Structure 1
Amino acid sequence: MWLHARRYIASTVLVVAGIGATPSPALAQEPTRLSDEQVEQLLERIEKAADKYRESLDDALDKSHLDDSKREDEINRYVKEFEDATDRLESRFDDDKTAAEDVRNVLTRAVRLDNMMSRFAFTDRAQGDWRLLRNDLSELARAYGVAWDWTVATASPR
């Protein structure tokens, strides 16, 4: 019964997320229909990819001219804010309270990292780990019907 209720809630969230978003026509997305299990797997993949990215970015920062600088502190703050947002998203999913707004919050935090990754020449490993994480984040946006375009790096208004 719990699994059935969770599926119903997830389906409802996907429908509400699609209705609540008012994207521009070029960015409109229909939610990708994923089961609770698939969303949970995606969130776990994002968590693992985020950990891997953080480790490779830490290593890249230690080898860069940004080591021990205020800019490094700022980047680490962005990473922490992103991790906090993903933890909140995962926690709310576990509590059956996930909403498109939680996904937008994660993506908004991720855009800072995306901009930073395009500005600095970090190691290939860090760049590759970011690309993998970014792909999973794009899949998350589609799953919740959140219009997201990394080139303009803004979420559509609700």
Structure 2
Amino acid sequence: MRIIKKYKNRKLYDTSIKKFITLSDIANFVKNGEAVKVIDNLGNDITQEIFLKARIKGRVFGSLKKEMVEKLIQGFIKIFKGNTDDFIEILLDLVNQGVLPADIAKELGNAVIRHFNEFEDNMKKDIIELIKSTGFVPKEEYDKLKKEYELLKKKCEGQSG
């Protein structure tokens, strides 16, 4: 299996041939039936993300006009602000104009939304952990603890009386 490392600076390094490569190279490896795994600088498997980028780059961006690229970028910005509807609308617009094949638009939309949701979920978990580390607890947990306290208080009052 060919292992490719993606560095923070977005460069791709093929550990088999010990040199930097491009998305086109990865697309060619896959076309030739080679098994490829791509990992990021933290060791996470990002193979599917890179395959998608390689497919899109090979099939789409060569034919995109500057304003279409800008529109797509605006779509990405909107999705990171939480507006997936506008992002999907932009993808559909690109499909309707014949700029983006429908299967690529679907893959791109699903991949971006999935990664955004994972990012959002991780961010929520991190915020909750940060809040917990300060001694605060979520309302549900507070309510549960309060009920337990009230029950214990009643038991103690009943035993002392």
Q: Flag whether TM exceeds 0.5 (same fold).
A: no
Larger proportion of helix: 1
Q: TM-score, normalised by structure 2?
A: 0.32
More relative contact order, 1 or 2 (CA 8 Å, 6+ apart): 1
Which of the pair has more CA radius of gyration?
Answer: 2
Q: TM-score, normalised by structure 1?
A: 0.32
